[in-house]
Each structure stands twice: as C-alpha cells, then as structure tokens.
C-alpha cells in the first residue's frame, strides 16, 4: 500500500525559478529519503503558500519523514504548517492513470 503525505504552509517567497534555485540542495536531500517514491513541489504566489505532495511506499517512513520535516520547516521559521497522511486507494488510482502503481 502507498501513502500520500500532503504538506503546505504560508510562504512569502521566493517563487518560481528563484524558489527552485534556493531549494535545489534540499530537493537532492529529500530524494534520498527512505521509502520516498516521489515528491511534487507546490507553490502559489497569489495565496502565498508552498509545500509538497509526497508518495511513500510505507506508513512508517511517511510518519518519520513528517516529524523530521515539520521540525526542519519550523527551524526555517515557518508556522501554521498543515499536514495530512492518506492511504492511496490503488484500484481506483490505477483506473485514473496513476502511473506509480504499474
């Protein structure tokens, strides 16, 4: 079973290319996380939000990462961090073209 982790928080910049350049080392670090299948980085300059959607291959690693990443975000000065973990319904997700479930 796959587990989806959703994280978002108020973010006042940077955005776009500047955001990408600022967090490239963090992205490389996150790519090495145990159990991580992928991460989609999210940002919305209009609503001043950023975050990510992560897919893990097990709940233990998703919860471990959530705890560690929340502490990291807080150390960067972020507050009002919103998080959720969902079980992925694989049969329905396959029908709707979820490519991670081949």
Q: What is the pLDDT of residues 1-13, one digit of tens each?
A: 899 999 999 999 9
Q: Whole-prediction pTM value?
A: 0.92
Total domains present in the chain: 1
Point out the residues of the chain with pLDDT beneath 50.
102
> What local confidence, expressed as pLDDT, does residue 60 receive?
98
Structural domain includes residue 20: yes
Structural domain includes residue 87: yes
Angle at CA 88, nearest 5°, toward 87 and 93? 165
> Domain span at residue 70?
3-94
Q: Spell out the residues 6+ positions from residue 88 whose beta carbon is closer than 8 angstroms to its own.
A: 1, 2, 3, 4, 55, 98, 101
Structural domain includes residue 52: yes
Q: Which secondary structure element, helix H or strand E, spans residue 64, and what is its range?
A: helix 59-75
CATH code of the domain containing 25:
3.30.70.100
Structural domain includes residue 101: no
> What local confidence, expressed as pLDDT, does residue 101 receive?
54
Structural domain includes residue 8: yes
């Amino acid at each position: 079973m796959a587990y989806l982790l959703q994280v978002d928080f108020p973010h006042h910049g940077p955005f776009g290319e500047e955001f990408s350049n600022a967090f490239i080392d963090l992205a490389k670090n996150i790519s090495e996380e145990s159990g991580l299948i992928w991460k989609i980085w999210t940002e919305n300059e209009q609503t001043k939000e950023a975050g990510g959607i992560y897919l893990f291959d097990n709940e233990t690693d998703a919860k471990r990462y959530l705890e560690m990443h929340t502490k990291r975000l807080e150390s960067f000065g972020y507050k009002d961090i919103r998080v959720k973990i969902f079980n992925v319904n694989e049969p329905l997700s396959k029908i709707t073209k979820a490519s991670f479930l081949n």
